[in-house]
Chain A
């Protein structure tokens, strides 16, 4: 008898512990930053829910950036924010529904992986406003889509890589002039970066070579490291990961081999300060903040919001130490040319 009681007690406690850890309301990991405003219904009372994709908040990338934008909106706009991290694709609909059904004014879905889920939930809750990042939804009057001209950021990063390869401007580069890209899944937000990178590189180093592989994963860090090693074995010594958390493995491998990487989405130089040449950034934080503000000021507009170099929605960070000033100024010139519309960049990856 006693054994049975202990067993049921144990299973119960494990169950409870799991619930406590994973959060019981919506599926996935529940993180609730303390709302800065008091009661939810009085005052501004703006409630914003953020749903990450499977990359999670510690992807050192765009999920994290969305959270940064939300935090800023909490502090400056007095919004009450809440984050739910999705553990798997089947969490998207319940997580979005959770916020929509609990009277949140704005529900933010991070990532194109949530396209179908947002379309579905936005239709069910026509009075709730939705924002999707990195994806285009135009057939819903309550959805705003934030898209980024990542090809522009990729172009600048590629041009910098090309100039560095052509001039052998950093130590420990081989003479093969090969750079590599490790993508997650072939998809518009990933491919626009890659396409821009290819064109920027080819402009500055037309005889050089860009290797492109896809890991088919945004989460498998160890696998990313193997992809990087594979490209390095083919002679690549600057690698651009566009694969979310999986790309962190690329940076690790590059660091171990004393080669170079280019950061993506956010400034990733802190991951390997001597190896990350520059980061191609995407202003997910800015876009989140802007949309929260538009909801607050009743200026919310559905449709597509495009963020490019012009709007400071994409860009590149200051390069690491050792990159020659002449290269930096050439890249800055290219940036100006893109803003002025003198350079047209395609979003299609060259095979």
Chain B
């Protein structure tokens, strides 16, 4: 298959998997701590918008990235406050964040930047070129000239796995997601750990959004996430609430998109190919991965009894 041997296919797979993997891992942190998070889409939009805005205002893409993530952190802190302190319904809350973020970013884009959109001279994050890959044309074609965030994403996958499964804090976060009462009895602060999980999730989702706006592009467009936050939600479930699983699932969805692009050169209908990622989602969720069980206390607000 000449299609599969083309490095461009794998380049696109990785590039399209990144904005899914980051929020999917973010969601994993949140849900591992016991807070259902369907707000990734909205937080991505917030991250994407503020990353571009601050990138333009400070004339530095890195500062833009920092502020974009910060705003994602702020919105997820508000989300966490309502979900943990006020014990509000987390699914409704997540939906509210999504609708609110879509409206807010569209409104801000029009009022702050006008109908011409974000300025064309907004700086974007650099791409990475590894000269020593030159002797291996295939790998060079896949990895070279990817956005720096693709590499950061790969590091985040590994660090997240280590953090969740090999550190004390990771264990504690997982414990409040499985059995908050036991964790509380053992002297852990359930709410503080849940705040940590949700806010890490928000930072990572915003990072995923910033990848879209200042990673591969340098502009913000209304609703530019195009439902990637929801696909990330599927990737999180499909990945059984583990960072590596979420990454693997994101790669599969990224591959489906990339294959859709590549197969067009063979005169396959674009409408048919556009369906590919979604068909794969259904197939994957319908049984390819077996049963995936959420953390036991996922979505259940914890009321402290004293």
Contacts and interface: CB of A to CB of B under 8 A. Distances in A.
Given A3-B86, A3-B87, A248 B221 contact: yes
Interface in A218-243: 219-223, 225-227, 229-230, 233-234
B115 to A, nearest CB: 5
B218 A222 contact: no
Interface stretch (B8-16, B153-161, B183-191, B290-298): B8-16
Interface residues of A, number: 51
B304 interface: no
B181 interface: no
Interface in B1-30: 6-8, 11-12, 15-16, 19
Contacts of A39: none
Interface stretch (B170-178, B193-201, B234-242, B267-275): B267-275
Contact of A248 (B15, B99, B219, B226): B219
A222 B110 contact: no
A213 B212 contact: no
Given A21-B106, A252-B219, A58 B224 contact: no
B257 A223 contact: yes
Interface in A132-155: none
A64 B114 CA distance: 11
A320 interface: no
Contacts, number: 138
Nearest to A272: B120
Contact of A214 (B92, B223, B270): B270
B222 interface: yes
A37 interface: no
A57 B115 CA distance: 6
Q: Which of B12, B86, B221 has the most CB of A within 10 A?
A: B221
B226 A21 contact: no
Interface in B98-131: 99-100, 102-104, 106-107, 109-110, 113-117, 120, 124, 127
B56 to A, nearest CB: 14
Main secondary structure of the interface of B (DSSP, over half): helix
A227 B9 CA distance: 11
A220 B102 CA distance: 15
B219 A221 contact: yes
Given A56-B222, A245-B221, A7 B86 contact: yes
Contacts of B274: 216-217
Contacts of A249: 216-217
Given A233-B8, A252-B217, A21 B103 contact: yes
Nearest to B219: A248
Interface stretch (B33-41, B66-74, B243-251, B258-266): B258-266
B16 A226 contact: yes
Contacts of B113: 58
Contacts of A222: 16, 19, 212, 216-217, 224, 226
A57 B110 contact: yes
A213 B106 contact: no
A7 B265 contact: no
Nearest to A54: B223
Given A29-B107, A60-B116, A217 B226 contact: yes
B271 A216 contact: yes
A263 to B, nearest CB: 12
B264 to A, nearest CB: 4
A294 interface: no
Interface in A1-55: 3, 6-7, 10-11, 14-15, 17-18, 21-22, 29, 31
A256 B129 CA distance: 13
Contacts of B262: 230
A67 B16 CA distance: 33
Interface in A174-212: 185-186, 211
B110 A58 contact: yes
Nearest to B212: A222
B219 A234 contact: no
Nearest to A233: B8
Q: Which of A17, A58, A225 has the most CB of B within 10 A?
A: A58
Contact of A18 (B8, B103, B116, B120): B103
Nearest to B11: A229
Nearest to A9: B86
A351 interface: yes
Contacts of A7: 82, 86-88
A225 B219 CA distance: 12
A219 B226 contact: yes
B2 to A, nearest CB: 12
A32 to B, nearest CB: 12
Contacts of B99: 18
B96 interface: yes
B215 to A, nearest CB: 9
Interface string B59-86: 0000000000000000000000010001
A204 B11 CA distance: 33
A17 B100 contact: yes
A13 to B, nearest CB: 10
Contacts of B124: 256
A271 B120 contact: yes
A51 B92 CA distance: 30
A230 B12 contact: yes
B117 A18 contact: no
Contact of B216 (A3, A233, A252): A252
Given A57-B110, A233-B8, A249-B217, A219 B223 contact: yes
Contacts of A226: 12, 15-16, 257-258, 261
Given A11-B96, A57-B110, A227 B115 contact: no
7 contacts: A60-B117, A64-B116, A222-B16, A225-B216, A229-B8, A230-B261, A233-B8
